[in-house]
């Protein structure tokens, strides 16, 4: 397998769906031995393709995205034998990751306080929906509910008076995975220096709040909520809006900010009459007339394609870009050159392309993506490592424990 940063690190992924398992996947890609524990019915991610209407011939793409590079075992934790195996795994691991509801952790006895008795040096990483304390501690949630809705982020991203639009699958979970990973790695460094284990925890709500911190902090500091609201009006500020081109593609001008750049933009699109019309002598004049300028420019780009405009703006030195489409990423040179998307070398991964996590470290090699485990695929291998003999393994299989 080679030598990687986390070679020899033992990680238990006792989590489900996206955020926490994705953090475990990142540890695996830097060499950690990650054991994925699943309920006998399997992780929900295995069934996402069915919800999306994908046919049987299609790959279980979400499972391959966040479940890769792990070994897998099924455990029925409602059985004494299942819990015994979990506790043995916890006693030998370096990192234990879970997002199971606190009620389940309380019932079966795998809270941090329980496992610390077995393994004082472990890093216990906990993800919750709303936090470890408070009246909402025991509530369950996906990222749509806790990251987007509960944090207030969903309300900020809409036109005034129009219902909020839901985020897409994993849009809150994958950023949250980065937080979990960062917490684990920070705790591992602390353990290396002190020998102490740690309780790492974060929540979907906290990460939703953090992603919107620039706006939330402004409001907490006494700012006017309506001034911070992204969609306070259907006419956005002139540089904050998007503009349609003749090919039905849209351009974003957010980087055109100063008076000089904005004047260059008006010269480029042959709209210098707006300088006189709105008395644009300084940048504040643009801010004071932002909505009206946005309306005035609404139809200015309809006579050329987005490709034509991008060429013109590049020559003018203006940082303008087109609103991309996800399907274009399959041939996006920038994405491939920077390993944002890779071609898997494992012949058992039948998908032609995989999305990589965004963390790149030049001095560290990563494990090549390997197929996600089949349900319970490595059970016997893992149990033998724990000291179980063939008879015990057969009995647990016969009884539905594994």
Instruction: Domain of residue 85: give its range.
Output: 10-211+357-398
Confidence of residue 234 (pLDDT cuts 50, 70, 90): low
Q: Are residues 108 and 167 in the same domain?
A: yes
- Return the SS3 of 213: helix
Can you say how many angstroms the Cα of residue 207 is from the centroid of all Cα atoms in its chain? 10
Q: Are residues 246 and 202 in the same domain?
A: no
Q: Are residues 161 and 296 in the same domain?
A: no
Q: Are residues 50 and 160 in the same domain?
A: yes
Mean pLDDT, residues 16-42 taken together: 97
Q: Are residues 262 and 361 in the same domain?
A: no
Asked whether residue 330 is assigned to any structural domain, the reply reads no
For residues 36 and 70, the answer to whether their CB atoms sit within 8 Å is yes
> Is it the case that residue 337 has pLDDT exceeding 90?
yes
For residues 207 and 172, the answer to whether their CB atoms sit within 8 Å is yes
Q: For position 159, what pLDDT does the model report?
A: 75
Asked whether residue 386 is assigned to any structural domain, the reply reads yes
Q: For position 54, what pLDDT does the model report?
A: 65
> Is it the case that residue 193 has pLDDT exceeding 60?
yes
Rounded Cα distance, 252 and 301, in Å: 12
Rounded Cα distance, 100 and 111, in Å: 10
Q: Are residues 166 and 123 in the same domain?
A: yes
The CA dihedral of 368, 373, 377, 379, to the nearest 10 degrees, is 80
Stated as kind and residue range, the H or E segment containing 245 is: none
Rounded Cα distance, 20 and 36, in Å: 11
Q: Are residues 250 and 147 in the same domain?
A: no
Confidence of residue 236 (pLDDT cuts 50, 70, 90): low
Asked whether residue 45 is assigned to any structural domain, the reply reads yes
Kindly tell me the sign of the dihedral angle through the C-alpha atoms of 131, 95, 387, 401. Answer: positive
Q: For position 207, what pLDDT does the model report?
A: 98
- Return the SS3 of 227: helix
> Is it the case that residue 239 has pLDDT exceeding 90?
no
For residues 371 and 349, the answer to whether their CB atoms sit within 8 Å is yes
Contacts of 143 (CB under 8 A, 6+ apart): 18, 19, 167, 170, 171, 172, 173, 176, 204, 208
Mean pLDDT, residues 162-179 taken together: 92
Rounded Cα distance, 19 and 175, in Å: 8
Can you say how many angstroms the Cα of residue 156 is from the centroid of all Cα atoms in its chain? 20
Q: For position 55, what pLDDT does the model report?
A: 59
Kindly tell me the sign of the dihedral angle through the C-alpha atoms of 197, 118, 22, 100. Answer: negative
279: burial class by Cβ within 10 Å (0-12, 13-18, 19+)?
exposed
Residues in the chain: 402
Mean pLDDT, residues 364-374 taken together: 95
Rounded Cα distance, 336 and 332, in Å: 6
Angle at alpha carbon of residue 117, lines to 111 and 122, rounded to 5°: 75
Asked whether residue 263 is assigned to any structural domain, the reply reads yes
Asked whether residue 270 is assigned to any structural domain, the reply reads yes
- Supply the CATH number for residue 48's domain: 3.40.50.10540
Q: Of 152-161, 317-326, 340-349, 386-395, give the lowest mean pLDDT range.
A: 152-161
For residues 72 and 376, the answer to whether their CB atoms sit within 8 Å is yes
Q: Of 48-57, 101-110, 287-296, 368-377, give the lowest mean pLDDT range.
A: 48-57
pLDDT tens digits, residue range 99-157?
999 999 999 999 999 999 999 999 999 999 999 999 999 999 999 999 999 999 998 88
> Is it the case that residue 56 has pLDDT exceeding 90?
no
> Is it the case that residue 223 has pLDDT exceeding 90?
no
- Return the SS3 of 244: strand
Mean pLDDT, residues 334-351 taken together: 95
Rounded Cα distance, 129 and 7, in Å: 31
Rounded Cα distance, 305 and 292, in Å: 24
Contacts of 197 (CB under 8 A, 6+ apart): 116, 119, 120, 121, 122, 123, 124, 187, 191
Domain count along the chain: 2
Mean pLDDT, residues 72-97 taken together: 97
Q: For position 2, what pLDDT does the model report?
A: 62
Q: Which one is predicted more confidently, 167 or 9?
A: 9
- Supply the CATH number for residue 284's domain: 3.30.1540.10
Mean pLDDT, residues 72-91 taken together: 97
Mean pLDDT, residues 364-373 taken together: 95
Mean pLDDT, residues 202-216 taken together: 95
Q: Are residues 294 and 247 in the same domain?
A: yes
Q: Are residues 205 and 82 in the same domain?
A: yes
pTM exceeding the 0.85 threshold for the entire prediction: yes
Closest CA to 106 of 75, 76, 137: 137
**DSSP per residue over 46-115, as a string?**
GGHHHHTT--TTS--HHHHHHHTT-EEEE--TTSHHHHHHHHHHHHH-SEEEE---HHHHHHHT-SHHHH
Q: Which one is predicted more confidently, 51 or 305?
A: 305
Instruction: Give the whole-number percent of the chain exceeding pLDDT 70.
Output: 94
Q: Are residues 39 and 108 in the same domain?
A: yes
Q: Of 16-20, 50-54, 327-331, 343-347, give the lowest mean pLDDT range.
A: 50-54
Confidence of residue 233 (pLDDT cuts 50, 70, 90): low
Confidence of residue 52 (pLDDT cuts 50, 70, 90): low
What would the two tokens of residue 311 be?
């060429």
Query: Percentages helix, strand, coil for the chain, rounded to the nearest 5?
Result: 45, 10, 45
């Amino acid at each position: 397998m080679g030598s990687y940063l986390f070679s020899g690190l033992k990680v238990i992924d006792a989590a489900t769906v996206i955020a926490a398992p994705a953090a475990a996947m990142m540890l695996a890609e830097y060499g950690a031995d990650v054991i994925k524990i699943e309920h006998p019915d399997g992780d929900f991610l295995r069934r996402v393709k069915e919800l999306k209407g994908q046919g049987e011939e299609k790959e279980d793409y979400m499972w391959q995205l966040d479940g890769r590079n792990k070994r897998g075992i099924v455990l029925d934790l409602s059985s004494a034998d299942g819990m015994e195996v979990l506790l043995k795994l916890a006693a030998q691991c370096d990192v234990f990751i879970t997002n199971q509801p606190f009620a389940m952790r309380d019932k079966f006895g795998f809270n941090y306080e329980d496992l610390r008795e077995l393994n004082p040096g472990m890093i216990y990483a906990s993800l919750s929906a709303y936090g470890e304390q408070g009246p909402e501690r025991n509530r369950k949630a996906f990222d749509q509910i806790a990251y987007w809705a509960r944090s207030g982020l969903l309300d900020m991203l809409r036109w005034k008076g129009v219902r909020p639009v839901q985020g897409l699958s994993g849009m809150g979970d994958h950023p949250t995975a980065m937080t979990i990973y960062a917490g684990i790695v920070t705790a591992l460094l602390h353990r290396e220096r002190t020998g102490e284990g740690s309780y790492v925890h974060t929540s979907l709500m906290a990460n939703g709040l953090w992603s919107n911190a620039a706006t939330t902090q402004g409001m907490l500091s006494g700012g006017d909520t309506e001034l911070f609201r992204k969609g306070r009006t259907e006419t956005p500020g002139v540089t904050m809006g998007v503009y349609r081109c003749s090919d039905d593609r849209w351009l974003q001008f957010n980087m055109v900010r100063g008076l000089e750049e904005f004047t260059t933009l008006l010269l480029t699109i042959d709209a210098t009459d707006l300088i006189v019309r709105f008395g644009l002598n300084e940048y504040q004049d643009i801010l004071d007339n932002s909505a009206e300028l946005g309306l005035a420019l609404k139809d200015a780009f309809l006579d050329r394609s987005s490709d034509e405009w991008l060429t013109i703006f590049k020559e003018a030195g203006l940082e303008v870009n087109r609103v991309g489409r996800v399907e274009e990423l399959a041939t996006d040179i920038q994405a491939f050159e920077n390993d944002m998307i890779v071609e898997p070398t494992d012949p058992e991964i039948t998908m032609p392309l995989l999305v990589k996590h965004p963390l790149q470290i030049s001095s560290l090699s990563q494990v090549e993506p390997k197929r996600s485990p089949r349900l319970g695929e490595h059970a016997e291998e893992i149990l033998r490592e724990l000291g179980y003999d063939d008879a015990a393994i057969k009995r647990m299989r016969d009884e539905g424990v594994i």
